[in-house]
Structure formats: structure tokens, C-alpha cells
């Protein structure tokens, strides 16, 4: 759905794809806040210093082949998930295909993705790397020459998998449209990262749950519900985080007051649970646990409906009229 601006921005780079690489210019790194996903599903944010090369104006070596994995509609009414591979050699494209299919299967095994599968187009971008594997895998110091230069131990955090986001976007632009880029790295080591370019280990089933969480942000406009990070106590516009207690929500008929007391698929009931959106106190979430707090958990009811509303925004005439949870 963002085709116009994204392709316009990137087509020039693609057209120049066979030009020699730009000269390496020494540049300062940059510091950015990133989501870190722990084994077991816990999520938090960390300030990470990364090399300038992770978002340099690098040019990709050559356009990549795009394979439609699933096409359900025109891109202006469908969410286009573009999966780009890194660390797969020419002889390992079938491995990459297997990792893509496993990630897609995992995504559509959970609600509301399962019921709204027809809202997605899935594109696989075959990028050939000179070497197999990922830098700093299995241990720190291991170097691999890969197309996107993905690496573990980003910012000194073992499981944080960073990539050259400029190159990832350039490769992804070979797809007809791009709403979310997922870089799958050829590794079985648990890890990944969130953001406009999400990353995950292609050979690690739990890592691909990261995309379920990231699409919560990009489709549902959802807040993170974990409580570690920089707290802003102001009332957020997000549908699943509030500075209001349950009593105040009811009194003001605000936020998810209509859902209070309903069962939540995590096993509890919808309420206002303290600790959300990087705040330990003074900020509330709708359920004890959810995927916006811990990977492997379900979306809670207010978030599920925000996701469904997001699907309707994409395709108001095509979405099935169904409420999940």
C-alpha cells in the first residue's frame, strides 16, 4: 500500500544496482533504540550503537529474484510482507524457501492472522550471499561475507540480529509493493530485531514469532505492553495502553472499557494491568499477558479488534466480517 513513495524512492537505487559499490567513507556510527527478544519470549528495549554501514547509502550488487509465495489481491488493498534472505548461498535457495514457508506457516497459525490470511500478499526475495551463515554465529568473532551483512551481537547483545537496512529495503523493493520487510538470516540461533526492517533467524521457529509482534505495530497500531524502557506517562493514542485505571476507563467510557471483564485468550480477563509501554507504574495494559508483551502469547481482545480494524482499512470491501476473541 505504500508503493508509490517507497518504489519511487528506491527504484533509482535498483536501476543503479550493477554500478560499482560506493567508496567506503569513514563515518560515525549511530545509536538507536531497538527491541530485544529474549529466549522464552520476553521483550525489552535497549539503546544500541551500530556501525554507520547498517544504514549507509550502500548499493545492492544486483536485483534479486522475487517469488510470489501467496498473492491474494492488489497491493493497494492488501498487506505486502516481503521476506528477504541473508546468508544463503546460490546452492541454499531451497533452504531459504523452506525457512520462508515455515515463517509463513507460523504467522498464519495464530489469530487474527489465521482468519485474515487473505489480506496478505507474501513475497520471497532470493538474495544470493557469497558465504553461508551469519557473522558472529555460532560465536562472536566468526565473520561471514553475506549480501546484507547481518550479524548477531549487535550493540554487544548476543541475540540482537542487525542487518544493513538500506540494502534490505533495496532488495525488498524488487517486490511489487512493500508494507513490511522481514529479513530471514540463515541461522538456527535464536535472535532477531524489530523495526521497519524486522529480522529473525530463519532456522529458529521461535525467532519468527517476532514478525507476529511487529505486524501488531504496523497493522494494528499497537503499543508495546512490556514495561522496560523509557516511560512516557502521558495518555497514549494507542488502543492497548492507557494511563487510566479500569474504574476511570469505565467512568469516562474511554479506551477498552467495553471489554473490561471479558475473557482474554491468555487465560485471564480483560482489565487494566499495571505496567505497559515501557512504564512499570502509571500505565496499564488490557490483559495479564499478550504478544505485545511476550512472544508466543495471543493478542488480547482490544488488540485483536484493532488488528481487524487495520485489515478493514487495507481492504474495506474484502475483509470477512468476523470478530475474533
Nearer to Zn ion, 122 or 291 (CB): 291
Nearer to Zn ion, 121 or 304 (CB): 304
Nearer to Zn ion, 86 or 224 (CB): 224
* Contact present, 265 and 302 (Cβ < 8 Å): no
Compute the least distance from the CB of residue 298 to Zn ion, in Å.
16
Q: CA quadruple 177, 180, 183, 184: dihedral positive or negative? A: negative
d(CA 169, CA 196): 9
Compute the least distance from the CB of residue 14 to Zn ion, in Å.
30
Compute the least distance from the CB of residue 97 to Zn ion, in Å.
28
Half-sphere exposure of 86 (CA within 13 A, CB side): 33
d(CA 163, CA 158): 14
Pairing of strands 65-70, 192-193: unpaired
User: Which has the closest alpha carbon to 245: 270, 272, 222, 225?
Assistant: 272
In the window 27-86, what residues touch Zn ion (CB under 5 A)? 35
In the window 185-224, what residues touch Zn ion (CB under 5 A)? 224
Cell numbers of 299, please? 493478542
Nearer to Zn ion, 17 or 41 (CB): 41
Nearer to Zn ion, 35 or 86 (CB): 35
Nearer to Zn ion, 167 or 238 (CB): 238
User: For Zn ion, how many residues bind (rule: CB under 5 A)?
Assistant: 2
Compute the least distance from the CB of residue 217 to Zn ion, in Å.
6
Pairing of strands 180-185, 79-86: parallel
Q: CB atoms < 10 A from the CB of 22, how many?
A: 11
Compute the least distance from the CB of residue 24 to Zn ion, in Å.
33
Compute the least distance from the CB of residue 37 to Zn ion, in Å.
9
User: Which has the closest alpha carbon to 226: 287, 271, 292?
Assistant: 292
d(CA 18, CA 13): 10
In the window 19-38, what residues touch Zn ion (CB under 5 A)? 35
* Contact present, 306 and 218 (Cβ < 8 Å): no
Compute the least distance from the CB of residue 278 to Zn ion, in Å.
10
Nearer to Zn ion, 88 or 190 (CB): 190
Residues 219-258: x where in contact with Zn ion by CB under 5 A, - otherwise, as a string:
-----x----------------------------------
Residues 264-283: x where in contact with Zn ion by CB under 5 A, - otherwise, as a string:
--------------------
- Residue 92 binds to Zn ion (criterion: CB under 5 A): no
Compute the least distance from the CB of residue 45 to Zn ion, in Å.
8
Give the three-class secondary structure for 312. Answer: helix
Cell numbers of 318, please? 474484502
User: Residue with the closest Cβ to Zn ion?
Assistant: 224
CA angle, 107 then 298 then 109, to 5°: 30
Binding site for Zn ion (CB under 5 A): 35, 224
Amino acid at each position: 500500500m505504500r508503493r508509490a513513495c517507497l518504489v519511487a524512492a528506491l527504484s533509482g537505487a535498483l536501476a543503479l544496482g550493477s554500478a560499482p559499490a560506493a567508496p567506503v567513507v569513514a563515518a560515525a556510527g549511530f545509536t538507536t533504540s531497538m527491541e530485544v527478544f529474549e529466549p522464552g519470549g520476553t521483550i525489552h528495549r535497549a539503546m544500541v550503537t551500530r556501525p554507520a554501514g547498517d544504514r549507509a547509502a550502500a548499493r545492492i550488487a544486483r536485483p534479486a529474484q522475487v517469488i510470489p509465495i501467496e498473492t491474494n489481491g492488489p497491493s493497494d488493498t492488501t498487506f505486502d510482507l516481503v521476506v528477504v534472505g541473508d546468508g544463503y548461498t546460490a546452492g541454499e535457495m531451497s533452504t531459504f524457501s523452506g525457512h520462508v514457508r515455515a515463517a509463513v506457516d507460523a504467522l498464519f497459525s495464530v489469530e487474527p492472522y489465521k482468519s485474515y490470511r487473505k489480506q496478505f500478499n507474501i513475497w520471497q526475495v532470493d538474495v544470493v550471499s557469497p558465504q553461508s551463515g551469519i557473522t558472529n554465529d555460532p560465536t562472536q568473532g566468526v565473520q561471514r561475507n553475506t549480501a546484507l551483512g547481518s550479524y548477531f551481537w549487535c550493540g554487544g547483545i548476543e541475540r540482537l540480529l542487525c542487518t544493513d537496512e538500506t540494502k534490505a529495503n533495496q532488495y525488498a523493493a524488487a517486490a511489487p509493493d512493500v508494507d513490511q520487510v522481514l529479513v530471514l538470516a540463515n541461522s538456527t540461533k535464536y535472535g532477531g530485531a524489530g523495526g521497519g526492517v524486522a529480522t529473525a533467524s530463519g532456522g529458529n521457529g521461535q525467532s519468527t514469532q517476532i514478525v507476529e509482534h511487529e505486524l501488531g505495530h504496523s497493522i494494528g497500531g499497537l503499543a508495546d505492553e512490556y514495561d522496560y524502557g523509557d516511560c512516557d506517562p502521558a495518555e497514549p493514542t494507542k488502543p492497548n495502553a492507557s494511563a487510566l485505571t479500569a474504574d476511570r476507563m469505565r467512568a469516562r467510557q474511554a479506551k477498552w472499557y467495553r471489554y473490561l471483564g471479558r475473557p482474554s485468550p491468555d487465560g485471564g480477563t480483560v482489565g487494566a494491568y499495571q505496567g505497559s509501554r515501557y512504564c512499570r507504574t502509571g500505565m496499564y495494559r488490557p490483559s495479564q499477558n499478550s504478544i505485545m508483551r511476550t512472544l508466543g502469547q495471543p493478542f488480547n481482545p482490544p488488540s485483536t479488534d484493532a488488528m481487524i480494524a487495520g485489515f478493514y482499512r487495507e481492504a474495506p470491501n474484502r475483509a470477512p466480517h468476523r470478530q475474533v476473541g
